[in-house]
Structure 1
Amino acid sequence: MTGLRLAVFDVDGTLIDSQDFIVEAMNRAFGAMGVSLPSRDEVLSIVGLSLHDAIQRLVPALSGSEVAEASEKYKDMFIKLRAEKGGEATAPLYPGARAALEHLHTRDEVLLGVATGKARRGLDHAYDAHDLRHFFVTSQTADNHPSKPHPSMLRAALAETGAEAAQAVMIGDTSFDMEMGRAAGFRTIGVTWGYHPRDSLIAAGADLLIDSFADVIPALDDLWRTA
């Protein structure tokens, strides 16, 4: 036992409410290709997956080359939106997110991490826009790992921090986060303010569900105490 406790957060839909950016960039990308635009709910249902897997799941009829084209167009459209609208700074942190991170950051035994379907470039923009980088000792992105729910990102977080899975918790808003956490041997907290409904989080094996960031610290302490 190392005595370390690790809390790993998803980003989009958990820490940051970036849904407007994601939906608009996706719709612009499909519009540029002449592909029927998916609904807002359909787009939000795939947030958290790596971009290739997200587009493939969103429009299964696309060929491999079309998925690759849509991925590139999405990246281009997101960059254009960032320039037009001021970037990730206009996608707000959820209420209470900063206070929770600040509190956890003061606890010597607690290490914080991120596991996100964002690319490293997108995560860096989010970190800089909201001054978040200093909170996290490990940051895992889609660039170097298989898509969620594969546990690769969480296994890398354990290796980088020296924490043990028994004392680690994944916090996220999607079934992919819950499934990834379980596959890595983590406990899991599903947040209900994000992009997947409560039933999906429960079905994916969430150990706890919480309705606000005020509940994050009590939920973590509860899971760590009973680990």
Structure 2
Amino acid sequence: MHAQAPDSPHTDSTARVLFVEDNQSLVAYVFAYLEGKGHILDAAPDGVSGLQLALENEYDVIVLDWMLPRLEGIEVLRRLRTAGSDVPVLMLTARDELDSKLTGFRNGADDYLAKPFAIAELEARIIALSLRRRGRKRTLRVGNLRYDVTTQEIYRGDRLLQLHTGCRTILEMLMRESPGIVAKERLEAAIWGDERPDRDLLRTHIYELRRRLEIDGEPKLLYTVKSVGYRLSSSDANS
């Protein structure tokens, strides 16, 4: 179940969320609230389909019910961590005993919210987990573009891209905000701080970045949003 197109604007106060829950009334309630706040949601009604979605897609946060058909939430969590996924997981359950919470945390849960819950609290926890992850995330991906922030290696598919420092700074900001728009002023501040250049050097950097990213046969990634800034997206929707 998809609440919005995956390329909807993504800001610091919104998150891509996978909600794994078999209570469809609760799913509808959560979707109606979070969708109205601009969050991007997928839903899965059981553990098996939830695990599949979690492994196939990029999410900022997974909200995972403990008691699920086909595969319990705690087993979904174990398999996610075994597969190397570091996406934050908020366990959502009627269980409120300390032992259950400790079991969840030992298996890689990041947060815990017992039912019944206040929907505003659920959103606040989702945003907190999402922001925390963006701050620590070391490998960025948009389409088949991959940037390892630790090693500074950038790949488009199997091809290693060589970028100078200014272009890497721009690319990292665009990838972290993708598919949202990053204003020209923010990009300039990230590269030059308060010492802004007299001429439009940002445009020169963008031209060079676009030239490096655009490979024959590969879809366009870098878009100009007139009079506003730039965005990096694997889809040209709303470009």
TM-score between the two structures when normalised by the length of structure 1: 0.34
From the two aligned structures, give the one with the greater strand fraction. 2
Question: Which structure would you say has the larger RCO, counting Cα contacts within 8 Å and 6 or more residues apart?
Answer: 1
The structure with the largest alpha-carbon Rg is 2
TM-score between the two structures when normalised by the length of structure 2: 0.32
